[in-house]
Every structure is written in structure tokens, then in C-alpha cells.
A and B are shown apart, each in its own frame.
Chain A
């Protein structure tokens, strides 16, 4: 499984982990996404009625934690992180609205087509995500 993200995710992720109260996000992402099979990642709330390219919203870090939006493409076994937000705390927010869900969905498609993506890898100690512009 290859991991990618669009700039919306990267920007939010970096903003959040710079805050002490949200610093667990880095480890939460690693624990949930890395080392999992495509099938294992097919859980959460599926937004788009597609088995081959499910657009998923996943709750991370228990109740009241983070919400991560991502796209899976079965054919290539690629995962695209699209957005993340916390539910609680100073930067906490409610569900994103349908227009935003549609916007992110269209954006990830365009980014895949134009290769406007960041590849996500783990550093040597497997404790930190880093982003490489594709």
C-alpha cells in the first residue's frame, strides 16, 4: 500500500501536530493506517457508494477524537489522505458539510490526475510521517 495526500491534509496535519493537545495525531495516523491491508482499511463511514474506490470518513482516537477523510483505490492499492480535523478542543469542529465533502472528493481526483500529491513515508524509526512532493 502506497500512501499519498493532498495539500489540504498536509496543511491541517502540520497545523494540528504543532499544538500539544493534538500531538497524538501523528501516532494515531501511523497506528491506524500503516501496515494494514486494503480490506482492513475498508471500515468507517463510506461516503460514495463505491467498493473499488471507497471515499471514507474514519473516526480516530476514540470518541470525540479526530475525523480523517481518505480515498482508497483498490486497483493500485493506493491510499490518499484528504483532510483531518479534531472534534474537540480549541481547533475542534463539527462534521464538514456536504459541499466540502464534494469539494475534497473532486480535488483528490484532480490531484491524482495531475500528480499534484505528496507521498507519505515513515522516518527510519517509524515514529514520524514525512511528506515528499511527487
Chain B
């Protein structure tokens, strides 16, 4: 009895392998096409992320350079204020994009590119916060202003 059961299981397994083997022989190209299409999407995603990261890093560098400008007038200060608001808005959009990639991140797809993208977004936040601090908050801290005065006398 046991031998019959074993035989049936062996036959079932053999049958399954035979079917799969036949299907794979029949359509290897189709499968390869699907893999290639999938890889193309990943390559495209990586390309987009690298481009976006470069754009954000360039913005960060440009914002950083603004901190070396002296004696800005009221119009310039207003522009700086608007620039900070736009940068905050930009960051919100980018963070939404980052969050939408949660599933991709969990699968460790484009891991390095997503990490660099996130670092650039974090740096954008740091850069506009610094800009805000430099032009609007630090000049209101008395001891900070006083230290600058004293240093100029050294």
C-alpha cells in the first residue's frame, strides 16, 4: 500500500517537473524579457534619483554661498525669506516622494541612490534652517552680536 502511495507521489512530482521543464523551454525569452524590463525600470529609477540628488545638492551649495553675502537690504531680506519658504515647500514634496518609495526601500532596490537622495533632502533642510538662523535669528541674540563686535576689535 505504502509503495503505491510513494509511486503516486513520485509520478506527481515527475509530472510537475516535466510540465515546468516544458514551459520553461517553450518561453525562456518571455521570462528574460520580463526580467530585462524589470531591470530597465530599476536602472531608470536609479538614473532619476541620481539626477534629483545632483539638483538638490546644487541647490544646497547655492544656498550655502548666500551666507557669505553682507549687508543685505530689505528687498534682499524679503527674497531670502521667500527663498526659505520655497525651500521648505520643495522639501515637503521631496519627502513625500521619499516616503512613496518605502516598498522599494524595503526590497533594498536602488539602496545607495535612495540613501543619497534622502541625505540630500536632509541637507536641504539643514541648509535653509541655517540660512534662516543666520539672517533672522542669530542677529537677534544679543551675546552673538556682541561677540562679533568684540572679535572685530581683537
Contacts and interface: CB of A to CB of B under 8 A. Distances in A.
B147 A102 contact: yes
Nearest to A63: B119
A41 B151 CA distance: 18
Contacts of A106: 143-144, 146-147
A52 B139 CA distance: 17
Given A98-B137, A109-B151, A47 B143 contact: no
B68 interface: yes
Interface in A50-70: 50-53, 57, 59, 63-64
Nearest to B115: A64
Nearest to A104: B147
A54 B93 CA distance: 34
Interface of A: 42, 44-53, 57, 59, 63-64, 71, 73, 75, 87, 94-95, 98-99, 101-102, 105-106, 109, 112-113
B126 A64 contact: no
B82 interface: no
A53 B134 contact: no
B67 A46 contact: yes
B130 A63 contact: no
A49 B77 CA distance: 14
Given A63-B116, A106-B143, A47 B154 contact: no
Interface in B77-110: none
A45 B139 CA distance: 15
Contacts of B10: none
A48 B134 CA distance: 7
Interface of B: 57, 64, 67-68, 70, 116, 119-120, 122-123, 126-127, 129-130, 133-134, 137-139, 141, 143-144, 146-148, 150-152, 154
Given A51-B70, A98-B137, A102-B147, A45 B130 contact: yes
B8 to A, nearest CB: 59
A86 to B, nearest CB: 13
Contacts of A113: 154
Contact of A50 (B64, B143, B148): B148
A46 B130 CA distance: 9
Contact of B67 (A45, A94, A102, A112): A45
Contact of A49 (B70, B119, B141, B154): B70
Nearest to A46: B67
B154 A48 contact: no
A101 B144 contact: yes
Contacts of A87: 122
